[in-house]
């Protein structure tokens, strides 16, 4: 396949992905408007209200001034230009009905971001191997994956967090690859790690569940850089350290803002306690409790304790929002400590809820959508398993890096609540392996004697005299000391 033909195929897949998502966005918004709920989900409503507060009052809070760290900031700020398009509100902006048309524009923007993910995954696949059909098959799988379409069109933080996370993981991977022909070994520091760390921090400030990815990324950079720089132990440490510093600096404005409000270090939001208690409490089912009804009980208990302390003349610690979060965290940890067997059982239940092919009816009521999700998900997982085995023979560390988001989400949501919603970013990245697996299967079924279907990993000789001989050979090293035609460049 010529480069021009492949580029046209990339563009065709991108357009297909965009049109499919735009159509789904329009259909979903029509369904929501018919049901009298333009946003559908409670989480969507909270993001919208925060954005309204920013637009109309210039304050970042959900409802009262006791909920100033309720949500991570990036997605509500992303919504503010759309909220500003609403007609002048005749009543208080917290109670005013939501326009039935403006959310559709948000869904269209999410559709564009979703199609951009497809484009990015195709480029990542092309960088990994020279199977001609692999990038196209990756793009088609990502285009038709039901979960990816849904996360693009819902007014949820995943619509923005998923593209940011994919961009961060791709740039992180690319930054530690051997470079172009004339400079086969990366420099002491790859500048690409700076936008990679920034993108990861922005993803965390969009969806806080990615905040624990930092140590995984640093370990990957450390190990991958060490394999590339066999004789230099300082470079891996330097690359990991700078990546971490850039990430921390990107998070710092949010931390400073939170500290100025609470007098405490709050890394993400003050909903961690509620989220953890949602997964660890006596009546936990593995799914989220409806509207987290338990929060009202904890609020009343905290208010009573505050009144008691005030009557005794004792000062209250931090803000009410912070105290409620601490109370919920303590209750969740205490229950988990007292009921370890239930924690294990719930972890298995959450794992099944997150990774079972067929979603439960409560999450997706339309049977056709449920079967679409089950079919597309199962196809990707099976092909990704094949692609993982194939790629691991030549590039085990790259294969592990692509599979790692699914492992991360599996562990995370065995602790917090389980739902098919939370697997979508990891499964979407797995489309890279699935595309490689599908292309390899096709190459076995329809071999091309004129084209070798092997990962393009040809080492650059260590001296000029060996150049011509080395071009005739390949290596299976994950990160050769030198590389001439390495697809990682």
For residue range 320-330, what is the model confidence (pLDDT) as tens digits? 999 999 999 99
d(CA 210, CA 207): 6
Mean pLDDT on 127-136: 91
What is the reported pLDDT for 291? 63
- Token readout for 8 is 């046209």
What is the reported pLDDT for 422? 94
d(CA 361, CA 296): 27
Interior/surface letters 192-212, b for 16+ CB within 10 angstroms, e for the rest: bbbbbbbbbbbbbbbbbbbbe
User: Helix 320-338 to helix 294-311 angle, to the nearest 10 degrees?
Assistant: 120
Residue 183 predicted with pLDDT over 70: no
d(CA 391, CA 419): 29
Instruction: Look at the chain and count its residues.
Output: 489
What is the reported pLDDT for 486? 41
Lowest mean pLDDT among 35-49, 236-250, 282-296: 282-296
Model pTM score = 0.88
- Token readout for 246 is 């850039």
Average model confidence (pLDDT) across the chain = 86
Q: Nearest to residue 472, comparing CAs of 481, 460, 463, 464?
A: 460
Distances, alpha carbon 262 to alpha carbons 10, 69, 266, in Å: 49, 9, 8
Mean pLDDT on 229-247: 87
Confidence label for 456 from pLDDT (cuts 50, 70 and 90): very low
Let me know: does 67 contact 53? Beta carbons within 8 Å.
no
d(CA 226, CA 233): 7
What is the reported pLDDT for 468? 43
Task: Work out the percent of the chain whose per-residue pLDDT is above 90.
Answer: 66
229-233, Cβ contacts within 8 angstroms, sequence gap of 24 or more: 229/185, 229/186, 230/481
Mean pLDDT on 153-170: 97
Residue 43 predicted with pLDDT over 50: yes
The residue ranges of DSSP E strands in 218-288, in sequence order, are none
Q: Nearest to residue 164, comparing CAs of 430, 428, 489, 399?
A: 428
Let me know: does 439 contact 132? Beta carbons within 8 Å.
yes
Q: Nearest to residue 383, comparing CAs of 152, 159, 5, 125?
A: 125
Lowest mean pLDDT among 238-242, 258-262, 450-454, 473-477: 473-477
């Amino acid at each position: 396949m010529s480069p021009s033909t492949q580029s046209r195929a990339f563009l065709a897949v991108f357009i297909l992905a965009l049109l499919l998502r735009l159509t789904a966005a329009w259909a979903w918004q029509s369904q929501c408007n018919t049901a009298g709920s333009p946003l559908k989900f409670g989480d969507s409503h909270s993001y919208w209200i925060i954005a309204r507060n920013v637009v109309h009052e210039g304050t970042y809070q959900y409802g009262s001034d006791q909920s100033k760290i309720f949500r991570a900031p990036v997605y509500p700020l992303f919504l503010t230009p759309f909220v500003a398009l609403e007609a002048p509100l005749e009543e208080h902006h917290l109670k005013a009905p939501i326009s039935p048309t403006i959310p559709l524009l948000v869904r269209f923007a999410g559709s564009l971001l979703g199609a951009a993910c497809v484009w990015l995954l195709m480029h990542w696949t092309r960088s990994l191997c020279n199977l001609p059909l692999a990038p196209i098959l990756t793009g088609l799988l990502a285009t038709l994956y039901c979960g990816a379409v849904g996360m693009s069109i819902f007014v949820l933080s995943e619509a923005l967090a998923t593209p940011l996370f994919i961009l961060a993981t791709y740039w992180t991977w690319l930054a530690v690859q051997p470079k172009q022909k004339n400079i086969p070994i990366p420099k002491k520091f790859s500048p690409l790690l700076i936008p990679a760390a920034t993108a990861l921090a922005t993803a965390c400030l969009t969806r806080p569940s990615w905040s624990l990815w930092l140590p995984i990324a640093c370990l990957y950079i450390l190990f991958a850089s060490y394999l590339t720089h066999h004789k230099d132990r300082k470079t891996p440490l330097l690359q990991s350290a700078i990546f971490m510093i850039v990430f921390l600096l990107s998070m710092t404005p949010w931390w400073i803002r939170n500290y100025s409000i609470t007098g405490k270090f709050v890394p993400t939001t003050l909903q961690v306690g509620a989220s953890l208690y949602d997964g660890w409490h006596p009546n936990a089912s593995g799914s989220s409790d409806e509207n987290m009804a338990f929060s009202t009980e904890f609020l009343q208990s905290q208010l009573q304790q505050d009144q008691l302390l005030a009557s005794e003349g004792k000062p209250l610690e931090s803000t009410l929002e912070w105290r409620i979060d601490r109370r919920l965290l303590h209750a969740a940890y205490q229950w988990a400590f007292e009921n370890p067997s239930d924690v294990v059982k719930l972890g298995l239940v959450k794992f099944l809820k997150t990774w079972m092919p067929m979603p439960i009816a409560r999450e997706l009521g339309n049977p056709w959508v449920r079967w679409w999700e089950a079919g597309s998900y199962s196809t990707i997982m099976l092909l990704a398993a094949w692609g993982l085995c194939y790629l691991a023979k030549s590039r085990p560390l790259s294969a592990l890096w692509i599979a790692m988001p699914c492992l991360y989400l599996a562990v995370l949501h065995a602790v917090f609540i389980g739902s098919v919603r939370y697997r979508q970013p990891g499964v979407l990245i797995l489309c890279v392996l699935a595309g490689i697996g599908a292309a390899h299967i096709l190459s076995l079924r329809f071999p091309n004697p004129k084209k070798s279907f092997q990962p393009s990993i040809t080492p650059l000789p260590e001296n000029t005299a060996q150049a011509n001989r080395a071009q005739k050979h390949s290596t299976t090293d994950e990160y050769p000391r030198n590389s001439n035609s390495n697809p990682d460049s």
